[in-house]
Structure 1
C-alpha cells in the first residue's frame, strides 16, 4: 500500500483529524487539522494544507524543500493497522524528495545516493510518529547513520515510535512486551495497563484513548490497545 492508497482509505473515516500541538508555520493555524506537511530540511516547520498548496515560504523555508505529508494520529493509526514495516511506504527522502519509501528502502536509497551527504535534516520516521526529542534535526552526521542507530535492531529496520523507551517507567521496551495506543505511542504492556486504570489519556501526547475506562479489563487483552507489529 503506497501513500496515495492510504490517503484514499482514511478520507472515508469520520474520526478526529487534529495534530495536537502542531502549528502552521505560515498562517499560525493551531492546531493543524487533516494533513500536515512537515519540512524535512527546516528544524521545526510544518504547513497546513492550504498554505502548502499555496507553496508558502518563510525566511528560512523554501518552496523546493522536501515536504512530508502526514496524516493525523487517528487516521494514521487506522491506515497503518495490520501493515508490516516493509508495507508502510509513506516516507520521503529529506535530501532529494523521493517519496513513497518504506524505512528499509529509505535506508537503501540513502546508502546509494546520500551516504556522504551531511547537513541538518529531519528524520521522516521520527517526524511522522512524533518521537520525543527527535522531531527536530537529527544529531547524527547523516540520515543513513541515524536510521542504522535509531531505527534498526537485530531483526532489521523497525518503526520505533518511542525511541525504544517506555515513557511510564523510562526503561527499554522489547518487542515481546510492547503495547501501542491508537495515537501511535508504545509502552510496556503492564505499564500502560496500570496507567489507564487511573487516567484516560496517553502519557506522552495526552490524547484521550480510553472512552470507557470502567470497562477496562485487568488482563493484557485491553480492547483499547493493540500489539505493535515489527
Structure 2
C-alpha cells in the first residue's frame, strides 16, 4: 500500500531555499529540499497549502514570507469559505495560507494545522482511481473537481487532487506550463509516475517522521 511519506522540492539553490523556508514558514523536516536544474516554465501543476486556525496566523505567515523574498500572487482577503492569501516562493513554488475562520480568537501562534500538497491534474476521477488502486484511501471527494486522501495524524503532509485549471485559477496564475514539476513525492511502497507526470520515489517508512 502506498502512502505519502515525504515531499521534496527541487530547487536551483538549496542553501537559499533553506534560508527562505526557515524564515517564512519554519516547517523544519516536513519539507525536503534538493538541488535540480531541470527546466520548467509557467505553472508547475501543484501548490502547497498551509492551513491554520485563525486569520492572525495567515497574516503572520504571509508577512514573514513576503519579508523573506516571496512574491504576492493574491493578497489576503475574506471569502465565503474563510480567509487566506497566496504567495510564490523565490524557488517558484506557490504557497497558499488559509483558515476557515473569519475571526481571531487570540494572537498568532504560527501553529500549522495541516500542510497539504495539491496536485493539479487533468482528470480528477482518473487520477483518483489511479491512487486508490495503489492503496490510498479517499477522505473527501467532490466529483471531478477535488479529492482529498486520508492520512494519519502523524503524517507530515496531506495529499489532494484538484482540477489543474481550477487550481491555477484558485492561486491566481495562468494554467499553462511545461517541463519539470520540480517536486518529488516519497512513496512507502515503490517508485512510480502518476498519469500527470508527478514522480514518486521509494523511501524508508521512517522518512514519514524525519
TM range (shorter): under 0.3
Q: Whose helix fraction is larger, Structure 1's or Structure 2's?
A: 1
Larger radius of gyration: 1
Q: Whose strand fraction is larger, Structure 1's or Structure 2's?
A: 2
Q: Which has the higher contact order (CA 8 A, sep 6+)?
A: 2
Q: TM-score, normalised by structure 2?
A: 0.26
Q: TM-score, normalised by structure 1?
A: 0.24
